[in-house]
Structure 1
Amino acid sequence: MTYRRALGGLGLALMALGGVLLLGQPEPWRIALWLAGAVVLHDGLIAPLVLAVAALTAAAGLRPTGAPRAALIVAGSLTAIALPPLLRPGAPANPTVLPLDYARNWLLAMAAIALVTGAYLGIRALLRRRA
């Protein structure tokens, strides 16, 4: 119980620090709007998509555990990070800001995640058959 209170107090102190730092910014409403957008994005899009994938896999009789679940978490996190450049294609005002082909690189990262996960599952199945 003491740890819980200590962690709760630490959390409240960090929230207060965040509020003070937020109010010290030149335009705090922009940051607050961005944070509100993140909550809306999570609760309105990401969480329903995760629940839909879980429902579809359960309906198909699949239960992703271990490596498949980790791959889905990594792919989802990487997609969330890559969304701003993916949703705003085109040449930016400053050409040094986003000089890479984000759509291609995102697809390559998704393919790498799928290949590594598939290889891991294949090797694990092979080792189980031998044992």
Structure 2
Amino acid sequence: MKVFRYALGVLGLLLIAIGGRLVAGLPDPLDVAVWLGGALVLHDGIIAPLVLAAGLLVAAVPARGLVRGALITGGALVLVTLPALLRPGAPVNPSALPLPYGRNLLVVLAAVAAVTAVVALVRRGRRSRPRG
């Protein structure tokens, strides 16, 4: 197991060296450093605390497994749609983004919330009925 760890460490260092060499060969490597710094601040300063706060809030919900699944689904939908929503200007190919992605994302998120609520209500109804 120790040999495997060292091999993975050496491979990681090799990949870091390759990445560093590729970045150093760019016309302006400072742009990459700024982007990486911004990603770090965004993730560690905003996204991670929000996810932890949501986890604490969900822990008190009776159907927490179902709500977690809905939140994971919603998060994945937002991540997939975000590049299309944040792209500045009109697309080069007008047929690439022919629909209103912002509105459609909200519709799909509302559908996820509605399905989650219906499933939670059905489960609650099944539990409260006496078996006989």
Bigger drift between 32-41 and 103-112 goes to 32-41
Q: 1:117 to 1:99 in 2, by over 3 A?
A: same
- Residue in structure 2 matched with residue 70 of structure 1 by the alignment: 69
Length, aligned pairs only: 127
- Residue in structure 2 matched with residue 102 of structure 1 by the alignment: 101
Shift of 1:94: 3.1
Contact 1:22 1:31 in 2 (8 A): no
Bigger drift between 10-19 and 77-86 goes to 10-19
1:20 partnered with 2:21 = no
TM-score by length of 2: 0.64
- TM alignment of 1:13-52, pairs within 5 A: 13=11, 16-17=14-15, 20=18, 23-24=21-22, 27=26, 29=29, 34-52=35-53
- Residue in structure 1 matched with residue 125 of structure 2 by the alignment: 126
Q: 1:110 to 1:9 in 2, by over 3 A?
A: farther
Distance 2:80 2:98 in 1: 16
Structure 2 letter corresponding to 1:40? V
CA RMSD of aligned residues (A): 3.5
Distance 1:56 1:66 in 2: 13
Distance 2:71 2:89 in 1: 28
TM-score by length of 1: 0.65
- Structure 1 stretches of 5 or more lacking a match? none
- TM alignment of 1:108-119, pairs within 5 A: 108-119=107-118
Distance 1:112 1:97 in 2: 24
CA-to-aligned-CA distance 1:69-106 (integer Å, 9 cap, x gap): 12112212322332232234652233244333210221
Structure 2 letter corresponding to 1:112? A
- Aligned residues: percent identity? 43
Larger Rg: 2
